Chains A and B, each alone.
Chain A
Amino acid sequence: MRKNHLFFKSDTYRMVFVFVFLHVASVIQAQVTFPENGVADPRHGHYAFTNATVVKDAATTLTNATLIIKDGRITAVGTGLKVPAGAVEVDCKGKFIYPSFIDIYADYGIATTQRTAGAGGGFNFAQQSQLETATKGAYGWNQAIKSDAEAYKVFTVDDAKAKPLREAGFGTVLSHVRDGIARGTGTVVTLANEKENLVMLKEKASAHYSFIKGSSTQSYPSSMMGMIALLRQSYLDAQWYKNKPALEGINLSLQAWNDVQGLPQIFDANDKWNDLRADKIGDEFGIQYIIKAGQNEYQRIKEMKATNATFILPLNFPQAQDVEDPADARFVSVNDMKHWELAPTSAAAFEKAGIPFCLTTADLRNVNLFWTSLRKAMEYGLSENKTLEALTKTPATVLGIYDKVGSLDAGKLANFLITSGPIFYEKTTIYYNWVQGIRYNVKDDSNIAGTYALTIKSSSGAENYTLDVKNSSSLTMFGKDTLNTKFSFDGKMIKLSYAAMTRRQRPALPTDSTQRRPGGFPGGFPGGTGNQTQSLPASATRLSGVSNGMEWNGTGLDSAGNALTWTATFTKSAEVKTDSVKKKEMPVVGKVVYPFEPFGWEEDQGPKQETLLIKNATVWTSEKEGVLQNTDVLIRNGKIAAIGKNISEPTARVIDGTGKHVSPGIIDEHSHIAAASINEGGQSVTSEVRIADNLNPDDINIYRQLSGGVTTSHILHGSANVIGGQTQLIKLRWGANAEDLKFKDWMGQIKFALGENVKRSTSSISNFSNNNRYPDTRMGVEQVLMDAFTRAKDYKKIWDLYNSAKDKKLLIAPRRDLELDALVEVLDKKRFITCHSYVQSEINGAMEVANRMGYTVNTFTHILEGYKVADKMLKHGSFASTFSDWWAYKMEVEDAIPYNAAIMQKVGLTVAINSDDAEMARRLNQEAGKIVKYGGVTEEEALKMVTLNPAKMLHVDDRVGSLKIGKDGDVVVWTDNPLSIYAKSLYTIVDGIIYFDRQKDEQLQKQVDAERARLVKKLNGEKRSGAPTIPAQPSYQIMHTCSDHGHNHGLLVIDTDDTSND
């Protein structure tokens, strides 16, 4: 189509009007300041669209209405409007007009950057570190903080990319540079194919963040928690930078950070837990992010609601997997299949929960899939009104551009769609997408349906026929008889061939190539007539012509090669059919379970707190009472209420403990389950990172460990660096979210590490002496500790000075340093250390530094040579948490002995046995049993090593670790002596809630199997119905464990690079 060039004369009044009042939302087509090569051709794009059904916004629909646009904007919309003089009238009878859509997360007009491993990569022991940024210039220290990026400066119009978006119905998008953890500003542009100057509606419209490092090659951050820490520190630094601290000089990254804070803040979180992680950062700094979601938010919709965020929802649903082969299906987990089934319900779940959201084409494999996906979301319960809102008003409002786009109101941009019917109906076609007053054809208005009188003239006279036109590719033609035809109309040109019908082709059916054919008859249905796929005889008469609107004119050749002319005149409209597709039934889907894992509970089906009375058991108290025979234990309100003989409590659920053993819940001092990342190895000191920031409640090992009697786990940072991150104590509350997993009111700990892992000895780089991250020796390890605490002390001093100053007006607050904050907590005895350690020299070294700097190493963990220095540890005041019998997997465990725990215990240390391993954690009771074997510790003392003793070193022995009235109801009922290989947990109880029940486990297993069977059947049905499938994808699980020694975790477990935690 022809483009309408509008041009303002450069008269002063207009200039002011345009640039002051309209700002950027102005006319398009040419710029005032640009010289014209030729003769001025001012036009105003003045149109009146009449007789249309105008959907102004999701709430307002006008029938038989008129929309008037001029100079790229809407000047009026309403019923009974007069077509103004100078306006071109476009009759839109039978058509609908909608505001065009807004994609708040499009990837348009910005060159894509190469992404490196990013978040998923994690710390890599086998790679050299890049400790400094590779970005040149006056920017900040971290390469992933690209707060200075400005999409509007790099935006270029790209019509090849704009076209599919326009065809999907979009007129306006927000684009940003998708690179880095902080990504600078996004820009709002229209999809008009015009100069950048004119399509840009708001140059800085938003600020962007993510958990993806993007092109940054810098080692830090290498973990989820590192990214969170970096964001938090950046907020603090930016605040501090406002005072222009002289020592910092110019820092363009921080300056930009501050500059963009007034804009809508959009966080690409992309996963349900990441959404919450992002929101929490926002809460800390008074920011409400708009959250770009992933596919799985429906799994935790309550938590999503609690963020109070507006979400941006992608529509990239998982593809159906081919699970026909049972041997392949075996490795696809029930939750992956369930996710395939339920992902399309996510948007509906947001709507139902009343959470505001926008929809985006982002993450789709191809923008062309937008409508299919959108319809799927609607089929799964998303309403039409909400959909329209999510594509128009909500994004416009969020971006502060609702005055310009998002509805059809006077003054707004002329961005609208003309459609054949209600936009979300399956048969509706978008004909045109007008952007800034320019028409873009999507699908030509092929509403040529109707009856036409056809006259064909030849030298031998005229023949008359009737054409019953269905659409642009099918019609029925008849004179005396129905003819065999082939027809096409491309919006202007017409082709029509016809021949007499053969006998076989009767009875007549409409020529309709687009009609869905019944399955099983590829190539057309038998007996059909004039079908496009049915070949006409070579002798067919062939006509071609041009549509001049109500009349078509053309020429042709008959079977004998004689020239013809022809005219077809419109006589009658086709019957307007309403959408024939009935509203589809909402598909039947399975239920969300909590957590979204096998053995998860359906909502409100999870175990509840009960009054429990265990009768007549052998009770291992881990207290001075020792082991009590034929004893009852009463648990009420989540606490141990009574221990004794013949307790009666009529309201209690009674568990017969005859022949059974009852022990306190197992406490694992050293675990790495239930976390999204474990190691931040990007630097040697990373005390700013916190396991708590990235707990992952969807870890099947929580349930598996419950089956082994574990109730409390200390989730540690790994051992990639000398001062690792802050740890988190959790209770194994299967089904809880990250917050509720946490052990409440617990004084935090921090992981330190010494020896081979921190000097990166076991990695391939060190085998080539290639380590470039300090330290490389145990000498350096000691100095890292000295340096860190020296800095922490100086830091504390300056803050004390500042805090004690009476008049702070003249003072600039010191920079808050999250890394040193944590170390000051250690110095202030508000945070305890658990220190990965093996050999005696480094253990002594760590204690000596601690003594000099005035802190205590609370726990030495691993501590396999603790037996050599147990006396010194006792004097220092440390606890010891060790393995029972590990050794000889690396140099520093060459002298590890299974008698270690016994010796340390006999010297007087409080000793725990830990797992550091998701498998062994299920058998910690047996690991404790080995301490009886190796060194003759009494059975009672051995059991304490996995109950009371770890509670002591975690400083929670006032609440857990033994069976004592008033303590938490964390109890295990065993089939046998808990130190025996033959002991199984029958019940594992946390807070008086039976989280693991061996009998119920069997039922749950049956449910898992039944759910699997149902989903496999459904997927197979999907495949058989012809839907595309992808090969079965084994459901791999990430496990954070040690790569420098080989646990056997099975075929589906992937050790991440952020490993080496032992």
Chain B
Amino acid sequence: MKKIFLVISSFILLKAQAQETILPVPSQSQTIVLYNGTLHKGNGEVITNAVVIMEKGKITYAGPMVASDFKDAKIIDVAGKHIYPGLILPTSNLGLVGISAVRASSDVQEIGEFNPNVRSIVAYNTDSKVINTLRSNGILLANIVPQGSLLAGSSSVVQLDAWNWEDAAYKTDAGMHLYMPSMMAQARGRFGGFGGGGTQTPSTDPVKEALEKVEGIKGFFRMAKAYLNETSHEETNLKFEATKGLYNKTQKLYVHANTVKQMLVALDFVKEFGFDLVIVGGSDSYQVADLLKQNNVSVILNQPHSLPTAEDDDVDQPYKTAAALQKAGVNFAISDDDAQTRGRNLAFNAGTAVTYGLTKEEALAAITLNAAKIMGVADKTGSIEAGKDANIIVSDGDILDMRTSNVTDAFIQGRKIDLNDKHKQLYEKYQQKYNLKKGF
């Protein structure tokens, strides 16, 4: 070990460069060794004074210190720091939405209710300025999800250091997204301080209406199945073709649903079609956690930093839901779909779940390994284990707490990526303006 050459890992090298010059890094050629950090593997295991070795984009070793001679390796001393798997944002409109208020910059929702053939990956913009701000907070992979009503299309997992969407594609079309219609009566009458609220005569049964729509979707899937059973087709149906992955299990069905009725209706897709089901949203999932477990359904909690659904709810319910799912043994991931911060607070959403019942390693798994499992990429990423892609971050302190989280290094497939972003650049620019940097 004496031969190890300690490289003082430089914080971000701040040059006066524009976002446009933050370049994707070529594939890993030199072996990289992270030395003497606290390793959080993502699978619950924590190893202090650990070493992680990355070669040709893969993790070749992750464990306690070993004596070794890394002749040509780049050795990064991470003493006192924490090593985590690269975080995974399990639902995001990243690269599809530039500025949500500007219609021209939005490519997230197609016209129509049956769009299984629509693919998010082709609209993913690798030049979105948001991407680098996420990397700065440790997010290295994201699931790019189309929006819609009913069948919105397929999502793909991307890695966040790429020239174009083809480079970025980590696993394409692995999720089909169904937005479950609401099964709640719509609001009527007047509200709040305006008083009134006298007569309320609901006209239709929202559950019945929703079930009719769901029946329509099932009808679609039945026809698609029959179509796929044909050896040849008179006419090609792109929408039916697009469902192939659901039947051959290369694709999961993500059902965006929050209420108990919506989630239970979604189970039909497991029972009748045998699809792998993921509930997205799941704000009331804690009420049916055992049933979800029983049916092998995963859950993505969209944003624990939310208000309770009902006034009567525990004021901290959204913070506690993750712990309830954990307790029931449901595989769940935590996401951050906040439209104002664009996902950068993913780790802190997980941190809140720790405050309200998870262990830190469970919370970490919810934004790494669990998410990888849901997205079908756990064979490649989600934990720091030999053989997996070297998607790794290093933080000065606990990544789950904004008080200590500070990502100093990040590696995507062994490539040490540039952690600069538009925000740091503007920070740099105006520090110079006001002469705030010592010794400048």
Contacts and interface: CB of A to CB of B under 8 A. Distances in A.
Most buried by A among B102, B182, B312, B400: B312
A676 to B, nearest CB: 2
Interface residues on B, range: 35 or more
A1010 B424 CA distance: 52
B27 interface: no
A1030 B423 contact: no
A1056 B192 CA distance: 10
A929 B397 CA distance: 14
Nearest to B406: A933
B13 interface: no
Contacts of B403: 929, 932-933, 939, 977, 979-981
B401 interface: yes
Top 9 A-B pairs, shortest CB-CB distance:
A271-B195, A676-B193, A120-B190, A890-B101, A981-B351, A899-B427, A886-B340, A1036-B187, A897-B423
Most buried by B among A599, A923, A977: A923
Contacts of A1052: 309-311
Nearest to A1001: B315
A758 to B, nearest CB: 14
Contacts of A1047: 338-340
Contact of B339 (A889, A891, A979): A889
Contacts of A926: 348, 402
B368 interface: no
A700 B187 contact: no
Interface in B405-434: 405-406, 422-424, 426-427, 430-431, 434
B103 A767 contact: yes
Contact of A211 (B130, B194, B312, B422): B194
A1045 B100 contact: yes
Interface string B298-319: 0000110111111110111000
Given A929-B403, A981-B354, A935 B341 contact: no
Contacts of B306: 919, 1048-1050
A335 B310 CA distance: 11
Contacts of B351: 981-982
Contact of A696 (B193, B199, B424): B193
A403 to B, nearest CB: 34
Contacts of A330: 259-260, 284, 287, 310
A182 interface: no
Contacts of B205: 1031
Given A899-B426, A981-B402, A333 B185 contact: no
Given A897-B426, A1047-B340, A1049-B306, A1054 B193 contact: no
A704 B314 CA distance: 9
B436 A906 contact: yes
9 contacts: A598-B311, A675-B193, A887-B341, A889-B99, A889-B342, A898-B423, A981-B351, A1052-B310, A1054-B191
Contacts of A273: 193, 195
B344 interface: yes
A1035 B310 contact: yes
Most buried by B among A319, A907, A983, A1051: A1051
Interface stretch (A134-142, A165-173, A525-533, A866-874): A866-874
Most buried by B among A319, A1001, A1033: A1033
B419 to A, nearest CB: 14
Contact of B341 (A886, A891, A1051): A886
Contacts of A1037: 191, 311
Nearest to B339: A1046
A700 to B, nearest CB: 5
B427 A271 contact: no
A932 B397 CA distance: 13
B195 A269 contact: yes
Interface string A353-392: 0000000000101000000000000000000000000000
A53 B316 CA distance: 64
B30 interface: no
A981 B400 contact: yes
Interface string A915-941: 000111001001001101111000100
Nearest to A293: B195
A340 to B, nearest CB: 12
A1006 to B, nearest CB: 11
A119 B194 contact: yes
B18 interface: no
Interface string A288-314: 000000111000000000000000000
Contacts of A316: 198-199
B187 A1054 contact: yes
Contact of A889 (B100, B190, B354, B426): B100
Contacts of B192: 676-677, 696, 1038, 1056
A984 B431 contact: no
Interface in B263-291: 283-284, 287
**Majority secondary structure of chain B interface residues (helix, strand, loop or mixed):** loop
A597 B313 CA distance: 12
Nearest to A918: B307
A703 B430 CA distance: 40
Nearest to A762: B101
A933 B309 CA distance: 31
B439 interface: no
Contacts of A1012: 312
Nearest to A899: B427
Given A294-B195, A295-B198, A1033-B188, 5 more contacts: A120-B190, A365-B198, A919-B306, A1048-B302, A1050-B283
B68 interface: no
Interface in B204-223: 205
Contacts of A889: 99-101, 339-340, 342
Interface in B114-164: 129-130, 133
Contacts of A891: 99, 101-102
B331 interface: no
A211 B193 CA distance: 11
A465 interface: no
B312 A598 contact: yes
A382 B198 CA distance: 21
Contacts of B309: 331, 1050-1052
Contacts of A50: none
B261 interface: yes
B352 interface: yes
B381 interface: no
A274 B185 contact: no
B91 to A, nearest CB: 12
Contacts of A977: 403
Contact of A907 (B260, B424, B434): B434
B36 interface: no
Interface in A635-678: 675-677
Contacts of A335: 311
B307 to A, nearest CB: 5
B210 to A, nearest CB: 13
Contact of A707 (B100, B187, B202, B316): B316
Contacts of B341: 885-887
B391 interface: no
Interface in A86-109: none
B99 A894 contact: yes
A970 interface: no
Contact of A933 (B261, B310, B402, B422): B402
Contacts of A265: none
A694 interface: yes
Most buried by B among A898, A1001, A1054: A898
Most buried by A among B194, B310, B344, B406: B194
Contacts of A883: 340
A327 B402 CA distance: 37
A982 B354 contact: yes
Contact of A1048 (B129, B310, B311, B337): B337
A316 B337 CA distance: 43
B294 interface: no
